[in-house]
Structure 1
C-alpha cells in the first residue's frame, strides 16, 4: 500500500509538472515585445536646446507648473547627477529585467485578453520609495533609483524592513502588485478578514502571473522569514481564531498584522521578536490558495469574489 501511494504521488507530480510546462510554453508563445524607454538617461543627457523635444515626447513627465529653467537646473543638480550615475551603474544592461517584464505581460495577456501592454518608461524620483512603480492603462513608470540594492548608501536612513525590497529583482514583483490592484474588485475592507483576503488575492495573482519568481520574492520576505511563517502557520492561524480577530473591525488590527512592519505584533514577546511583518497577508495568501485548490474558479472570477464567500467556501486548515 505504501509503495502504491508513493507511485500515485509521483504520477500526480509528473502530470502536474508536464501540465505546468505546457501552460508556460503556451504563454511564452504570446511573445509580447517590450522596448523599455530609458527616460532617466534621456533626461540626464538633455540640455537647453534638446529639452523642448524631450518635453514633446514625454509631456506627462513634466509638470506644467514648472518652467524650463527648473528642469535645466534639476539636470545640473549635484544630487540628480549622483542619482543618474548610480542608476547607470546598476542598470547599464536592462535586458534581464526587460525579459521579466515581457514574461509578466505575456502572463497577464493570457489570463486577461483585453490587456494591452503599456509603454514602459524608467525614471528617477529622488528615492520616492512609496511610488516606486506607477501603472496606468497606457504607461508603466519605474523609478530605478529605488532599486539600487538594499545596502546602497542612498538608503542609509530608511528602515531595514522597507529597504530590503530595494533591489532590481523586485521590479517585476512591484509591477505585478500594481496590476493586481487593477484587477481586484472587493468591497471596502471592514474586517481583518477583508484585509487578509484582499492581500491574499494580490499574492495569488502573483503566483499565477510571475511564477518565475520565488515565493519569498512574491511576498517580499527573505528565505528565513518565509521559513518562519511556514513553520509557525498553524500557530498563527490558531491565534487569529482563538482571539476572534477575523471578523473584528478594530482599526488597530491592520497595523499589527497587515501593514509593512519589522515584525508582526502578536504582543507575545518570544514570538514578536522573531516574526516577520505582514503575517495577516501571509495567512490570507494561504486561504486564497486553499480556496482555489478546492473550487473550480478562474483567476478572473476569484479576484472579484467577496472575502466572505471565499472564507465560507474554503476548508483551510494549516498543517501542524
Structure 2
C-alpha cells in the first residue's frame, strides 16, 4: 500500500512539473504573423502581379513567364481549390494558436533559432505538406482538407489519413526536427533507428499535446499495436541480428513510411509502417530518462553510445 501511495505521489509531482513547464513555455512572448499567400494569390488579378512578384519573389522564378501566373489566377480548378480551403479553414484562429505553440516550444528548446516566417500556400506535391525553406515555413493548406476529401482519391490511406488540419503543428515540428538532426555516419540499422528516434524525441517536445499516434502518423489502432508489441519487435530485431546490419533493405522493411512493416510473418498486416522509428524513439527516450544530459548534448551523441547507456528494456 505504501509503495502504491509513493508511486501516486511521484506521478502527481511529475504532472505538476510538466504543467509548470508548459505554462512557462506558453508565456513566451512571440509574434506569429501568418501570411495567407494562398488567399492573396487567388484573390489577385493580373494587374496585381508586379506587386506580388515584388513582395513574394520566392514564388515567382524568373524562368516562368507571367502568362503562366495569369493563367493560374483564372483557372477554374484553382478557384475551386480556394473554395475548398476556405471551407475547411473558415476559422483560422485555432490553427494560428497551434502554430504559435510550436514556435514557442522551438524558442524554448532551441533559443538560438530565429523565429521563422509562416506562409500558407498550395502545392501539387502531397509528399511535402510543410517545407522549411531558409527562414520560412511554407504550409500547403490543400494537404489538410480532411482524410476523406475528394482531392485525395487515389492516395494510399496510410498517407491520406494524416491530411487533417490538426496535423499542421506536428508536421511543422517534424520538418524542424529533421533540420536539427544530422544524418548518421554509420550505416547500421541501429544508427538509423536512433537517428529517427532523435527526430521523434524533438517532435515529442515541440508538440507535447499531440498523441503518439499523431506524432508517428499512425492511427490510434496502429499506435496501440506498437505499444503492445514493443517487446516482440525488439526481440525480433535481436534474434535476427539486425542492429548492426548495414543491409539497406531494412530501411524499406522497418524505417520508411509504409502501410505496414515487413517481418515476413502473419502479423505484418496488423503492424504500422516504420516500427524501427518507434523503437528508436523508445531508446532515445530511455537514454534521456537515465542520463543527466541536455537535449543539445544528446543530439550530438553517436548512436552506439546512446544505445549502450540507455538501459533500454521494453516491458513484456
TM-score, normalised to structure 2, is 0.97
Task: Map 1:57-206; keep pairs closer than 5 Å.
Answer: 57-126=55-124, 128-206=125-203
**Higher RCO structure (Cα 8 Å, ≥6 apart):** 1
Which residue does 2:272 correspond to in 1? Answer: 276
Any gaps of 5 or more consecutive residues in structure 1? none
The reply to whether residue 234 of structure 1 matches residue 227 of structure 2 is: no
**Separation in 2, partners of 1:98, 1:189:** 40
Give, in angstroms, the shift of residue 122 of structure 1. Answer: 0.3
Report runs of 4+ in structure 1 exceeding 3 Å deviation. Answer: none
Q: How many residue pairs were aligned?
A: 316
DSSP 3-state at the match of 2:91: coil
CA contact 1:173–1:210 (8 Å) conserved in 2: yes
Counterparts of 2:157 and 2:20 in 1: how far apart (Å)?
40
Structure 2 portions without partners, runs of 5+: none
Alpha-carbon distance between aligned partners in 2 of 1:185 and 1:261, rounded to the nearest angstrom: 23
Q: Which of the residues 284, 290, 296 maps onto 1:288? A: 284
Give the Cα–Cα distance (whole angstroms) in 1 for the partners of residues 313 and 221 of structure 2: 23
Deviation of the 1:186 alpha carbon: 4.2
SS at match of 1:311: helix
Aligned equivalents of 1:224, 1:187: Cα separation in 2: 31
Specify which of 256, 259, 263 is matched with residue 260 of structure 2.
263
Note the aligned Cα RMSD (angstroms): 1.1
Q: Is the 8 A contact 1:186 1:304 kept in 2?
A: no
Q: Secondary structure at the match of 1:49?
A: helix
- Output one character per residue of 1:26-78: Cα deviation in whole Å (capped at 9) or x when no partner: 11111212121100000001112111111111110112111211101011112
- Where 1:129 maps in the other structure, the secondary structure is coil
1:251 matches 2:237: no
Give me the whole-angstrom Cα distance separating, in 2, the residues matched to 1:263 and 1:296. 36
Which secondary structure state, in structure 1, belongs to the residue aligned with residue 4 of structure 2?
helix
Distance in 2, matches of 1:57 and 1:48, equals 15
SS in 2 for 1:134: strand
Q: Secondary structure at the match of 1:14?
A: helix
The 1-side partners of 2:183 and 2:300 are apart by: 6
Distance 1:250 1:139 in 2: 36
CA contact (8 A) 1:200 1:284 kept: yes
Instruction: Give 1:159 deviation, angstroms.
Output: 0.7
1:72-123, Cα deviation, whole Å (9 max, x unpaired): 1011112222222111111121111111111111111111111211110001
Shift of 1:189: 4.9
Distance 1:318 1:176 in 2: 26
Inter-partner Cα distance in structure 2 for 1:152 and 1:189 = 41
Query: Does the 8 Å CA contact 2:46/2:73 hold for their aligned counterparts?
Result: no
Would you say the 8 A contact 2:184–2:195 is kept in 1?
Answer: no
Determine if contact 1:186/1:306 at 8 Å carries over to the other structure: no
Counterpart in the other structure of 1:49: 47
Residues 1:210 and 1:86: Cα distance change in structure 2 (over 3 Å): same
Q: TM-score, normalised by structure 1?
A: 0.96
Q: Distance in 1 between matches of 2:30 and 2:219?
A: 31
CA distance in 2, matches of 1:107, 1:274: 34
Alpha-carbon distance between aligned partners in 2 of 1:300 and 1:129, rounded to the nearest angstrom? 32
